[in-house]
Copies of this chain bind each other. A is one copy, B any other.
Amino acid sequence: MNGADALMRTLVENGVTACFANPGTSEMQFVSALDGQPAMRPVLCLFEGVATGAADGYGRMAGTPACTLLHLGPGYGNGLANLHNARRAYTPIVNVVGDHATYHRQYDAPLNSDIPSIVAANSLWVKSADSPDEVAAVTAEAITASHGPPAGPVSLILPADAAWTETSTTFAPASRPGPRAPDGEAVEAAARAIKAAKAPVVLIGGGACLEAGLVQAARLQAAGVRVMADTFVARQPRGAGVFAPARMQYFGEAALEELAGTDLMVFAGTTQPVAFFAYPDRPSVLVPEGCATLSLADRATDAAAALQALADALGAPASGPVQPLKRPASPASGPLTPQACGVAVARHLPEGAILCDDAVTSGGGVAVPCMTTVPHEVLALTGGAIGIGGPMAIGAAVACPDRKVVSLNGDGSAMYTVQSLWTMAREKLDVTVVVFANHSYRILNIEMSRTGAGQAGPSARKLLDLGDPNIDWVSLARGLGVEAVRCETGEAFEAAFASAMSQRGPRFIEAAI
């Protein structure tokens, strides 16, 4: 066995069994080692941003890391944006970054670069396994580190000579530190403060928005405490039978309007809310003036347990409100809008579906009717780097092969990682991709005035508009091997979405809104 074999064995025997890869010459031993570990599923991605976004989707659903295989600094760079999103989602990922042989680095060959510097911003942990004998131990350390708490992406640099040299040390065990137990004093302090407050809000995010956390949050709501959730949550159940906390508004002034009068904010699985962007003369921190704040559970803490302790301390009822099942009675019809698409989605989404949302301005139209459809889960864009909708769907589908995955995308977003369609076709993943084609960076048309940048003139308009030429998404999707249809009416979208939900395998729908 060589170092690459040790890496692969250590990954697989510690439960890392999916590899989203875009290999190069320096990673040939890694590729070869895959054949020795059939439990590892290799998934080829034609661009590294697909690989890293897929690893994010996988990690969110599996709760264990996938690995990626990236080709030196530039390969990592191509995957950086979706690793930024993964860092913001607290998703465990083991990035394996192939590097030149240790002795070759000094010659600064064309692909050489300062990998530790490039990966630092989005890695919980970075180490280079410079000798074959340390590969297993370093790999185990990487897996352990990726779990946190809180979890996140880590970067294991694998020089080619460490990969190709023989070693007798081929395995090391990783450990999985769980989240920290709730801090009893924090729970008591929160309970006291909530009792004393006139209008308290408990803001939940991260792990607090998973199933167990929502159950406890609903109890708080039943006890008269207003519960809200972060705007963008890595993974959250939704639909009938699930508690639906109010969501923090995206635009800060709307958020503060909804929070007006709040005199206490308690955070569970998240921190104080801040505006996504700054705007001239608008606040950055989305906490009303004079409102007190308290942390019940940080992102490293078992937020569900903390919420349970808080609910108990407040004498909350054993259960709280959940959403009813109320699917739209009438099919979508008329001109196609995000809202019409939402009707069709809510009517046909199968139970347990995983909805990957990178739809930017079109997402809200789908979210509203889905609040009362069958129970499903939503994975949101946590880091603001668009282009995760397709890749994340790949990872979710690999992690959960028995669940339907729906990927909702703006057209601007989908173009970033359009290569993801090919991997869905290659792997025959059960993913339906919807692209809302408004041929515009519509959010930027909104932001142009909000930032005080004024009216767009001819040059500025060229940068906000995706028309001229309009992208033919059906042609793109078919070119990448995915069956595709374009819908211009509610009726057409309803039929196309219903058809996609009734069959397995990748489908593409261009929603011409």
Contacts and interface: CB of A to CB of B under 8 A. Distances in A.
Interface of A: 21, 23-26, 28-29, 31-32, 34-35, 38, 40, 42, 44, 46-47, 49, 73-75, 77-78, 80-81, 84-85, 88, 100-101, 103-104, 107-111, 113-115, 117-118, 120-122, 160-161, 164, 232, 272, 274-278, 280, 284-285, 382-385, 387, 412, 415-416, 418-419, 422, 425-426, 441, 443-444, 447-448, 451-454, 456-460, 462-464, 466, 468-476, 478-481
Given A80-B77, A426-B468, A34 B384 contact: no
A23 B456 CA distance: 13
Contacts of A447: 25, 28
Contacts of A475: 475-476, 478-479
B416 A47 contact: yes
Given A34-B460, A35-B457, A113-B121, 13 more contacts: A24-B444, A31-B456, A31-B460, A34-B457, A35-B460, A38-B459, A42-B459, A78-B387, A100-B277, A107-B274, A109-B276, A111-B277, A160-B277
Given A274-B109, A284-B103, A479-B473, A164 B78 contact: no
B459 A40 contact: yes
A418 B416 contact: no
A366 B272 CA distance: 59
Nearest to A419: B415
Given A78-B416, A415-B47, A448 B31 contact: yes
Contacts of A463: 21, 23, 31, 34, 42, 44
Given A46-B415, A107-B284, A277-B104, A425 B23 contact: no
A471 B480 contact: yes
Nearest to A21: B463
A471 B481 contact: yes
Given A121-B73, A478-B472, A481-B471, A466 B46 contact: yes
A81 B78 CA distance: 6
A500 B104 CA distance: 43
Contacts of A160: 277-278, 451
A103 B278 contact: yes
A164 B80 contact: no
B479 A32 contact: no
Given A23-B444, A25-B444, A28-B451, A462 B42 contact: yes
Contacts of A164: 280, 451-453
Most B CB within 10 A of own CB, among A278, A412, A460: A278
Copies of this chain per assembly: 2
Contact of A474 (B46, B111, B479): B479
Contact of A471 (B74, B272, B412, B479): B479
A277 B25 contact: yes
Nearest to A49: B78
A85 to B, nearest CB: 8
A32 B448 contact: yes
Most B CB within 10 A of own CB, among A42, A110, A160: A110
Nearest to A106: B284
A283 to B, nearest CB: 10
A277 to B, nearest CB: 5
Contacts of A415: 46-47, 419, 422
A120 B117 contact: yes
A87 B286 CA distance: 41
B78 A459 contact: no
A115 B109 CA distance: 25
A452 B29 CA distance: 8
Given A110-B88, A478-B475, A277 B35 contact: no
Most B CB within 10 A of own CB, among A42, A385, A469: A385
Contact of A34 (B78, B109, B284, B459): B459
Contacts of A385: 74-75, 77, 111
8 contacts: A25-B447, A29-B452, A34-B463, A35-B460, A74-B84, A104-B274, A104-B275, A113-B121
Contacts of A21: 463
Contacts of A26: 277
B111 A276 contact: yes
Nearest to A411: B46
Contacts of A81: 74-75, 77-78
A460 B32 contact: yes
